[in-house]
């Protein structure tokens, strides 16, 4: 059985993209309750268990660069796998999620 490699991006790359005002979307796939503990400025939220139903209506442009994150990187891997299966070829999972983002002391709101 082949293991599917989920395309990933580092927290440093995401932070650089934000600072450079790169044309990208930040997608937080945690639950709404988790968002109260901090989120990246400008993100949109679709909980991972709703990705299949909501991604196309929320982000209809499948050519957009989308950086997907969660707390640790596990749920974002699942979300990116689903998104890629429906045509989002520029969706990337932020490795190590907000745990590493916080360790680097990058900003949250």
Domain positions in the chain = 8-103
- The string of pLDDT tens digits covering residues 20-70 is 999 999 999 999 999 999 999 999 999 999 999 999 999 999 999 999 999
Domain 8-103 has CATH 3.40.250.10: yes
Q: How far apart are CA 67 and CA 16, in angstroms?
A: 12
Q: Give the H or E element holding residue 57.
A: helix 51-58
40 vs 27: CA distance, rounded Å: 9
Record the pTM. Answer: 0.95
pLDDT band, residue 5 (cuts 50/70/90): confident
Q: Is the dihedral of CA 51, 53, 91, 18 positive or negative?
A: negative
pLDDT band at 3 (very low <50, low <70, confident <90, very high): low
Selecting among 70, 80, 83, 98, the annotated active-site residue is 70
Instruction: Please report how many Cα atoms fall inside a 13 Å half-sphere around the Cα of residue 27, on the Cβ side.
Output: 30
pLDDT at 2: 52
Q: How many CB atoms lie within 10 A of CB 87?
A: 11
Entry field: residues in the chain: 109
Is 11 in a helix, a strand, or coil? helix
- Based on the residue annotation, tell me whether 70 is a catalytic residue of this protein: yes
What are the φ/ψ torsions at residue 18 (nearest 5 degrees)? -65, -50
């Amino acid at each position: 059985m082949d293991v599917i490699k989920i395309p990933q991006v580092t927290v440093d790359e995401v932070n650089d993209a934000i600072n450079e005002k790169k044309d990208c979307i930040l997608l937080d796939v945690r639950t709404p309750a988790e968002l109260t503990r901090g989120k990246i400025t400008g993100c949109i939220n679709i909980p991972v268990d709703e990705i299949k139903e909501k991604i196309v209506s929320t982000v209809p442009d499948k050519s957009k660069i989308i950086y997907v994150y969660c707390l640790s990187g596990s749920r974002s891997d699942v979300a990116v796998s689903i998104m890629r299966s429906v045509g989002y070829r520029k969706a990337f999972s932020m490795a190590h999620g907000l745990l590493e983002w916080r360790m680097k002391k990058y900003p949250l709101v």
